[in-house]
Structure 1
């Protein structure tokens, strides 16, 4: 059996979930990647975004929410329609729970406990997320921020090649680090 470890990645509200994984089971992970992520919601703009998503979902407004998410992430109208159809098939109570959990997530006080390397990816135009990345970088001992030019929040869908390159580079660096640590010192 090999000593393979995973790299956990969280996009947007998946950020606190990825951080919680690193805190709960550090031995399972070689590192973490947060893409436009945060450790807690702590300012009005993001609170408002969550409240709006929660309200739309609670009122069974998944169609409007789906249209907003699809149009902000995908340019092709046919793919937008696919995204909307998929999202509209989501159970509204499950989606509401997801937004409430993301909104309430808070692992900020425990960031210093994360010893695994963290890659924090932010879009240059996503100015509202930069303070979150700077805060995590300041409090998590092995965090590093990379700002991707010419993109807002939707790094994964708007600049997938650059996203994949950063992930590949991070994963390769973690593989090299593990190999170095496994080499016996004479």
Structure 2
């Protein structure tokens, strides 16, 4: 993966494939390495852009506190630098909240979104507590055990674990802490009705902690396609990679066909 200077920082990114651009956004600590199956399988039908959020993986640490608007601006300027005019977005877990923020902030630039195990708010005690614990562990002596735990929970094999852990441990604990903390207080649920771009919502039917958030997104988004994945929990990019990729590919093809057939297409 090469590096690029944008918005005053250095980002580690990977761009592959041809066709409409799909940008993947990872959650705190876990890096773009979590999208390994998407990078390898979807690049045959579209252009895949993955990157490590500043302060994560091999991207440079951030002197500015990490917030969703800052991450969205990094993405916007990254696309400018790569001369990509429009893109679809795909966010996993907390990365889905950044997708929502981007669609609200730049509706002409980001033309659709895919939400994987995502949320528009943190309003259940269990998820709030889990994020609070992770935030507190982003400090000396606790950071590597946290990286181990999250890498293991997202791994479908020893090789995946090794890749995730190697990348996660390179992150900057203070920036990762800021990402966790901002996600805990972020809430755009009352603005979801403003999102007019087409959306795809993927969630595991065994991901009980996130069932409430899936329902919120399903009923508040005006143009959403909902696809539950049977017998799966939260970690869909790695543990249900083939199912996710097939659904993403089919949905993207539908969006392209609609644009082609529309008078403005």
Alignment equivalent of 2:256, drawn from 168, 175, 185: 175
What is the CA distance between 1:28 and its match in structure 2? Answer: 1.6
Determine if contact 1:14/1:102 at 8 Å carries over to the other structure: no
Deviations 1:57-95 (A, max 9, x none): 145512111111111111322432332232122111111
Change (3 A) 1:79 1:119: closer
Aligned partner of 1:99 in structure 2 is 180
Q: Which runs of 4+ in 1 moved over 4 A?
A: none
Aligned partner of 1:18 in structure 2 is 99
Structure 2 spans left out of the alignment, 5+ residues? 1-19, 21-83
Instruction: Give RMSD over aligned pairs.
Output: 2.0
What is the CA distance between 1:144 and its match in structure 2? Answer: 2.4
Deviations 1:99-119 (A, max 9, x none): 112222211110000011111
Determine if contact 2:103/2:111 at 8 Å carries over to the other structure: no
TM-score if structure 2 supplies the norm length?
0.65
What is the CA distance between 1:132 and its match in structure 2? Answer: 0.7
Deviations 1:126-149 (A, max 9, x none): 022122111111111112221001
Higher-RCO chain (CA-CA 8 Å, sequence separation at least 6): 1
* Residue 46 of structure 1 pairs with residue 136 of structure 2: no
Q: 1:55, 1:37 → 2: CA distance?
A: 22
The structure richer in strand per residue is 2
* Residue 36 of structure 1 pairs with residue 117 of structure 2: yes
Structure 1 spans left out of the alignment, 5+ residues? none
Aligned partner of 1:134 in structure 2 is 215
Q: 1:108, 1:67 → 2: CA distance?
A: 32
TM-score if structure 1 supplies the norm length?
0.91
Q: 1:60, 1:169 → 2: CA distance?
A: 44
Give the 3-state SS of the residue equivalent to 1:33 in structure 2: strand
* Residue 153 of structure 1 pairs with residue 206 of structure 2: no
Aligned length: 183
What is the CA distance between 1:4 and its match in structure 2? Answer: 6.7
